[in-house]
Structure 1
């Protein structure tokens, strides 16, 4: 995972609010109180947490599990291990009316012995929240549900979900299965960042399969005209309550909210909307350092070139109060002399971002290119120059 040295939102708020800034039209108000067991609001690009409550409390994920099912499927499609036009044979376990475990749950209404395209199963998982579709896809990707669950947990570790464990491919309550609001926000961030083609399905409002009329996406915020919501996923069981992970975009800013343990079907939408509206009203994402855009060129010793470009490979994103993105200043520091060989992505120092002359965020300063070691005679000459440089500096 990409490492970032970030200050918490609490420090960010303190740094900003403690400076008597005339540019701030009004102060940032308190986080809205939500009627839910746990919640979090995250800037998807910077990773800054803007609001949280019981965000690391372990809870039942319910159908939020399907976000990880979708992530594994998306990775399989991305790598070419499966294709959208693959035909999948529906087994007895994936039979909508033949598996007692699926009785009364959300379904795509698959029929045993029939074949279904991967693309349709994927939509059945994401849009219809079909538990039967999850089973059919898991068997196609990994050979069995158990093997697929192992993939889910491996990806969870890779993404950095420290308080999540899956036992099912669909999210029906199971002993030992748990997650947190923070982990679900991180999973949503990974879907958006790593698998844009897969994530694009989450904004589709309906899908029809084996029924006379379409089934609607359960994420009611997709129809909300006051927010530009394009995902992500709902979930509900008796143990979990009403869950919703949502993401919306406003200009350069994308926010992700996760509300777990909501009281009602519509309540989870109302509480999520409160979080997202508050976030967009008072914050925005600044991008003061562009991806692979050199921030500075510095001398490199014993290299086959004299200088190396330094900056941020993925770009630097930070969260600031609304209207302050243009006021962010950037400074950097180098840890030591830079010696070849050096690989692209190697950290050589840090980038600091300042607002009102206060540091609000730090991120690594890295090499943007490879520099190979010079030959024998070039190395001797560099050694002589370096001794003079050290002596006079």
Structure 2
């Protein structure tokens, strides 16, 4: 005879809060005041916003646009559509000194009719912020700048950039082109998460092409020895002001900041550093649940198994005050009785993360295995037993 157990709302104590940590938490000070039009700070792993100001205000992206150009390039490389050693012929539109649109802007200094590798063009986009490199790469991947811009906007929707629209492949000011600080940290997070090989280029400090000396990466925080910054991108036009999306790692924590509408070239770095330092001083990322790790076992009805393992497919990350990771508690709640058939990954409830008795984060609780439906007699027996459970539960 199959034995079933009633639904349980079980609390798993990862550790017991000490009286000192519970009664005397170290205070988190207010966000430092920044000299910028818009800014935001995100925990890249948990997705939690730690600080923001005018984060959804529409702004001109300037060369932050190249993050999306790079994302499309990275996806094309990842899918095998293009290869790093492909050779690209430079068109007149991508000619550094022949296209008046590019005059006075940041360039890789491509020459019309010459060939250049995809690998060099990609570095020219990311490290040198070459507007000409963006045009050459766009034409190589999509056939035209317009078709490539359509790809950029398609990917923006897939990533969830709700307040962003691109009109150019390089970010020079154009009517109808806009973004927000929040969308830019989401784009940075997507780059880091989806395209690690592409993102690895962002930490390179210099690149030389067609010049006697190397051009330096414009992200000055890469040279800051007090932070482990490994990206991401600067941008500047008259309309945009000085922009910088930056990311840094400390221990298990990765933060992404976006400062838009900064006042000066160095000022955007100083303001970004304030955000990152504040974030690392007072927050950390906990990883209480590993991917595909069975957390709980619950009864399943009408299945060829009596029990089903529950947890998280991708694991879980939660942002907590510095030093409080060990104090997290986990509680799970089942939405309803669980019935077969069921597929791995199906949501059956939610996982709640508590600190000092308060829920600070919720994430889906999912099935970690497939369970097929049982036969006729098993279903009849389960139905009878389930009626008793419902009466006495």
After superposition, residues 34-113 of structure 1 pair within 5 angstroms as 34-113=34-113
Q: Which secondary structure state, in structure 2, belongs to the residue aligned with residue 34 of structure 1?
A: coil
> Could you tell me which residue of structure 1 aligns to residue 7 of structure 2?
none
> Could you tell me which residue of structure 1 aligns to residue 204 of structure 2?
204
In 2, Cα distance between the equivalents of 1:149 and 1:211? 29
In 1, Cα distance between the equivalents of 2:350 and 2:25? 32
In 2, Cα distance between the equivalents of 1:20 and 1:323? 12
Structure 2 residue runs of 5 or longer lacking an equivalent are 1-18
Q: Are 1:21 and 1:356, in contact at CA under 8 Å, matched by a contact in 2?
A: no
In 1, Cα distance between the equivalents of 2:249 and 2:111? 38
Q: Which secondary structure state, in structure 1, belongs to the residue aligned with residue 32 of structure 2?
A: coil
After superposition, residues 232-381 of structure 1 pair within 5 angstroms as 232-381=232-381
Q: Which secondary structure state, in structure 2, belongs to the residue aligned with residue 77 of structure 1?
A: helix
* Shift, 1:83, TM fit: 1.2
Superposed CA offset, 1:25-71 (max 9, x none): 63111100000000001111111111111100000000000000011
Superposed CA offset, 1:51-104 (max 9, x none): 111100000000000000011111111111111111111111111111110111
Structure 1 residue runs of 5 or longer lacking an equivalent are 1-18
In 1, Cα distance between the equivalents of 2:127 and 2:308? 48
> Could you tell me which residue of structure 1 aligns to residue 15 of structure 2?
none
In 2, Cα distance between the equivalents of 1:366 and 1:43? 23
Q: Are 2:248 and 2:254, in contact at CA under 8 Å, matched by a contact in 1?
A: yes
Q: Which moved more, 1:111-120 or 1:166-175?
A: 111-120
> Could you tell me which residue of structure 2 aligns to residue 135 of structure 1?
135
TM-score, structure 2 as length reference: 0.92
In 1, Cα distance between the equivalents of 2:198 and 2:344? 29
Q: Are 1:149 and 1:167, in contact at CA under 8 Å, matched by a contact in 2?
A: yes
* Shift, 1:23, TM fit: 6.0
* Shift, 1:391, TM fit: 3.8
> Could you tell me which residue of structure 2 aligns to residue 382 of structure 1?
382
* Shift, 1:181, TM fit: 0.4
After superposition, residues 150-229 of structure 1 pair within 5 angstroms as 150-229=150-229
Q: Which moved more, 1:277-286 or 1:289-298?
A: 289-298
* Shift, 1:155, TM fit: 0.8
Q: Are 2:22 and 2:356, in contact at CA under 8 Å, matched by a contact in 1?
A: no
* Shift, 1:21, TM fit: 5.1
In 2, Cα distance between the equivalents of 1:23 and 1:105? 56
Superposed CA offset, 1:95-140 (max 9, x none): 1111110111111111111111111111111111011111111111
Given the superposition, is the C-alpha separation of residues 204 and 315 from structure 1 closer, same or farther in structure 2, using an over 3 Å criterion? same
Q: Which secondary structure state, in structure 1, belongs to the residue aligned with residue 257 of structure 2?
A: strand
Q: Which secondary structure state, in structure 1, belongs to the residue aligned with residue 254 of structure 2?
A: strand
> Could you tell me which residue of structure 2 aligns to residue 118 of structure 1?
118
Q: Are 1:203 and 1:222, in contact at CA under 8 Å, matched by a contact in 2?
A: yes
In 1, Cα distance between the equivalents of 2:383 and 2:177? 59
Q: Which secondary structure state, in structure 2, belongs to the residue aligned with residue 162 of structure 1?
A: coil
After superposition, residues 7-22 of structure 1 pair within 5 angstroms as 22=22
* Shift, 1:355, TM fit: 0.8
In 2, Cα distance between the equivalents of 1:213 and 1:30? 44
Superposed CA offset, 1:178-201 (max 9, x none): 000000011001111111111111
Q: Are 1:344 and 1:370, in contact at CA under 8 Å, matched by a contact in 2?
A: yes
Q: Are 2:233 and 2:245, in contact at CA under 8 Å, matched by a contact in 1?
A: yes
TM-score, structure 1 as length reference: 0.92
In 2, Cα distance between the equivalents of 1:294 and 1:386? 25
* Shift, 1:285, TM fit: 0.7
